[in-house]
């Protein structure tokens, strides 16, 4: 899977932000679980100067369909971020991008 990830997370940085951990996950439903997540990429943004980025990459972690139960199924790509402060409580948020579908057949 090839990913084009662009984001401007500079607004997450304040005087109290140490760093921001960000990851992209494929999320889907199965009869057994309402939410399944597979991490595809992650990174640490160390400062506001690095918070605006454009990355073209293959998935860092494998998206494995054990038992081929996901063929032709819909999934979302979700970018999660965790703001790690210098002091105080950590804060997390996300943005969900819908409309993705796995192929009916795999190679």
Residue-wise pLDDT for 25-81, tens only, equals 989 888 888 888 888 899 999 999 999 988 888 778 777 766 666 788 889 999 999
In a domain, 54, yes or no: yes
Give the total residue count for the chain: 107
- Chain centroid offset of residue 8 CA: 14
Which residue blocks in the chain are alpha helix, DSSP H? none
The count of structural domains within the chain is 1
Spatial contact of 82 and 21, defined as CB atoms under 8 Å apart: yes
Domain that holds residue 33: 2-101
In a domain, 107, yes or no: no
């Amino acid at each position: 899977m090839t990913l084009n990830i662009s984001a401007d997370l500079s607004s997450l940085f304040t005087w109290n932000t140490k760093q921001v951990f960000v990851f992209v996950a494929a999320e889907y439903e199965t009869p057994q679980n309402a939410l399944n997540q597979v991490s595809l990429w992650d990174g640490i943004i160390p400062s506001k100067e690095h918070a605006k980025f454009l990355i073209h990459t293959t998935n860092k972690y494998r998206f494995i369909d054990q038992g081929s139960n996901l063929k032709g199924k819909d999934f979302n790509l979700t970018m999660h971020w965790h703001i790690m402060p210098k002091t105080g409580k950590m804060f997390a948020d996300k943005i969900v991008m819908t409309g993705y579908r796995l192929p009916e057949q795999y190679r």
